[in-house]
Amino acid sequence: MSNRTRPSVWVLNGPNLNLLGTREPTIYGAETLADIEAKCRRVGDALGVDIRFHQSNAEHQIIDWIHQTRAEAHGIVINPAAYTHTSVAIGDALRACDLPVVEVHLSNVHQREAFRHHSYVSAVARCVICGAGSDGYEYGLRYLAKLLGDATE
């Protein structure tokens, strides 16, 4: 990554993740979204990666951010939350942007209700991480930093 500008990774978060810390802490943990953002920024600094961090409860806003990544980002870490299981549109937006995508879930969705076992994002993602709590974001950033670094060697 030495001879180019720092890669930019956008970390996108879907509905209800703004409630982390108080929302079902036995499933999602005690950390707030602000804690997770701070962790992503620390990891990004250590890896030499610029981080843009967003959360929205609105599907169209998430889609608009994905469209923006086409011009402004080198990779995406996304926790689409419940839209994972419902949104063909978010899957299509990610497919259209042609950037490496990491899908992250705090909980292990495969140990939960059957409706959480299907994802419209996994088929587009290079890497899927679930059940590692907020560390999943860190692992996703490390994966993308290595991928983007290798691509420039």
Residue ranges for the known binding site for substrate are 79, 85, 92, 106-107, 116
100/30 Cα distance (integer angstroms): 29
Which is nearer to ligand DQA, 56 or 74 (by Cβ)? Answer: 56
Q: Does 116 bind ligand DQA (CB under 6 A)?
A: yes
Q: Which stretch binds ligand DQA (CB under 6 A): 3-11, 55-63, 102-110, 120-128?
A: 102-110
Asked whether the CA dihedral 129, 93, 84, 59 is positive or negative, the reply is: positive
Please select the residue that binds ligand DQA; options are 55, 69, 87, 107, rule is CB under 6 A: 107
Whether 108 and 130 have beta carbons less than 8 Å apart is answered as yes
Whether 28 and 16 have beta carbons less than 8 Å apart is answered as no
CB of 36 to ligand DQA, least distance (A): 10
Q: Which two tokens stand for residue 91?
A: 């899957």
Residues 6 or more apart in contact with residue 22 via CB below 8 angstroms:
none
CB of 110 to ligand DQA, least distance (A): 10
Backbone φ and ψ for 50, nearest 5 degrees, come out as -80, 135
Which is nearer to ligand DQA, 75 or 136 (by Cβ)? Answer: 136
CB of 121 to ligand DQA, least distance (A): 10
Whether 134 and 39 have beta carbons less than 8 Å apart is answered as yes
Which is nearer to ligand DQA, 71 or 88 (by Cβ)? Answer: 88
User: 121, 122, 123, 126: which is closest to 151 by C-alpha?
Assistant: 126
| 22-81 positions binding ligand DQA, by CB under 6 A | 79, 81
Tell me, yes or no, if 28 is annotated catalytic: yes
Footprint of ligand DQA on this chain (CB under 6 A)?
16, 79, 81-82, 84, 105-107, 109, 116
